[in-house]
Structure 1
Amino acid sequence: MLGLLAVVRQLHELMWLLTEALRLDEARPVHPEMRDALARMDHLAGGTPAQLKALDVEAQRRKVNPLLQKASNLARGGTPGKDYRGANLIGRKMRGSDLRGASFRGALLIGADLRESDLRRADFTGADLRGTDLRGANLTGVLFLTGSQLRAAVTGP
């Protein structure tokens, strides 16, 4: 039963990401595909225990990810900032950096110093922010930054 909870949690994470992408006006060209994907995830999440146990969540993630990437690229204006996708930025000192529109998709930012950085429209899909110092950073319009990522980061005094 515990394994089923993990499957449903991952499906709900995908639904949250798709819902966030649907809020991006710039991503309108892919909204119909994202709505279809969201309906598919919702249907799968309501499956029977046997269906959930047999579900390949990674295959579903591989279907959704290109849509989220398109939405991110559109929201970042087609001219994204620095590309840190999958980068190892553990402990990196980036305080006060201009990181507008950067992609941190899947990056390891554990213990990184991003204090007072400009992170407007940066994409944080799947980034590991444990202990990342975000105090004073401009997070206006950041993309796909989850509550759990924020709770793992340092955001207060």
Structure 2
Amino acid sequence: MMAGSRRVSGRTGTHLEGGIRTVSPRTEARAAEAGSGELRADCANCFGLCCVALPFAASADFAIDKDAGRPCPNLRADFRCGIHSRLRQEGFPGCTVYDCFGAGQKVSQLTFGGRDWRRAPHTARQMFAVFPLVRQLHELLWYLAEALTLPQARPLHDELRETFDEIEHLTRRDARDLADLDVAAHRERVNVLLLGTSELARATIDGRKDRRRADLVGADLRGADLRGADLRGALLIAAVLTGADLRSADLIGADLRDTDLRGADLTGSIFLIQAQLDAARGDATTRLPAALARPAHW
């Protein structure tokens, strides 16, 4: 997650490294549509890449060990999960909170032109290597798209648009070029922008707290006033936030596994993603940002 704060050298003004770029007139429209379109997973058009490319270890999140590149035994011939409706009961809650941000269908249908790794096994190794890279780029696009919706961040909108356009273009490169990308450098550069966005969005809230990367595991924060708080990268595992006010709080990278959000107000929170909610506990009284859905298991 984007919890770091180092600034990239060579970056000046509102221009990207390498000089001024011409922004596509459709960039803002693409960003506005991203949350409901290409940055949401479409498993029907993916070759089960998260079920093959990624490793997992037997734990509270996964019932078994699986190496990267080895298909999960629950993956069917049609690339669907054979236990999708009962993943939690079968010991795979980790699968229920994973989000590829639409990278699965991008790699399957665009990068590899609809050729799946079973019918074209020579593509498998490269496909599995590229998928997590594109997933990271799509995550950056999600955050940039949200940043463009924040009116308080208007001073950064030009740079946000330019950066969204650049990252989106990277996702459309061929597999060889994608494999050579320094994704960490792009993440760091985007993080600088997201930090600035967060500061602008929270600037008018008095008494906002800085709990960045704080260890709040199991903390009793019921009813806490956390409006505008910086909770980037905070460990909130199993914390009790019932009735807490998290309006306009920056939650990028916060670990919300088993966090009790019953009755909490998350409206207007910044950089909260669906996977974080899916990992937490809440109920019908939890107030959510409009772009996110109430998890079915709440």
TM-score exceeds 0.5: yes
The one-letter amino acid of 2:129's match is G
The one-letter amino acid of 2:247's match is R
Aligned counterparts of 1:52 and 1:106: Cα–Cα separation in 2: 27
Query: SS of the residue aligned with 2:136?
Result: helix
Query: How many residues get paired?
Result: 157
What is the aligned partner in structure 1 of residue 166 from structure 2? 40
In the TM superposition, residue 77 of structure 1 has moved relative to its aligned partner by 2.1
Query: SS of the residue aligned with 2:145?
Result: helix
The one-letter amino acid of 2:267's match is T
What is the aligned partner in structure 1 of residue 242 from structure 2? 115
The one-letter amino acid of 2:154's match is R
Runs of 4+ with deviation above 6 angstroms? none
Aligned counterparts of 1:55 and 1:96: Cα–Cα separation in 2: 44
Compute the TM-score of the two structures, normalised by the length of structure 1: 0.95
Equivalent residue in structure 1 for 2:146, among 20, 41, 51: 20
Who wins on radius of gyration, i.e. which is larger? 2
RMSD after superposition: 1.2
The alignment status of 1:9 with 2:172, answered yes or no, reads no
**Distance of aligned partners of 1:119 and 1:46 in 2 relative to their CA distance in 1, 3 Å threshold:** same
In the TM superposition, residue 75 of structure 1 has moved relative to its aligned partner by 0.8
What is the aligned partner in structure 2 of residue 148 from structure 1? 275
Q: How does 1:53-68 map to 2 (within 5 A)?
A: 53-68=179-194
Equivalent residue in structure 2 for 1:135, among 262, 267, 280: 262
Structure 2 alignment gaps of length 5 or more: 1-126, 284-297
What is the aligned partner in structure 2 of residue 89 from structure 1? 216
Report which stretch shifted further, 75-84 or 133-142: 75-84
Structure 1 alignment gaps of length 5 or more: none
Identity of aligned residues (%): 52
Aligned counterparts of 1:79 and 1:37: Cα–Cα separation in 2: 27
The one-letter amino acid of 1:148's match is A
Query: SS of the residue aligned with 1:74?
Result: helix
The one-letter amino acid of 2:212's match is R
Query: SS of the residue aligned with 2:239?
Result: coil
In the TM superposition, residue 146 of structure 1 has moved relative to its aligned partner by 0.3
Equivalent residue in structure 1 for 2:197, among 71, 78, 85: 71
What is the aligned partner in structure 1 of residue 177 from structure 2? 51
The alignment status of 1:104 with 2:219, answered yes or no, reads no
Q: Deviations over 1:29-78 (max 9, x none)?
A: 00000111101110111111111111111110110011111111111125
In the TM superposition, residue 3 of structure 1 has moved relative to its aligned partner by 2.3
Aligned counterparts of 1:10 and 1:155: Cα–Cα separation in 2: 27
In the TM superposition, residue 94 of structure 1 has moved relative to its aligned partner by 0.6
Compute the TM-score of the two structures, normalised by the length of structure 2: 0.51
Aligned counterparts of 2:252 and 2:184: Cα–Cα separation in 1: 15
Aligned counterparts of 1:115 and 1:45: Cα–Cα separation in 2: 39
What is the aligned partner in structure 1 of residue 287 from structure 2? none
Aligned counterparts of 1:86 and 1:47: Cα–Cα separation in 2: 34
Q: Deviations over 1:66-94 (max 9, x none)?
A: 11111111111255711111111111111
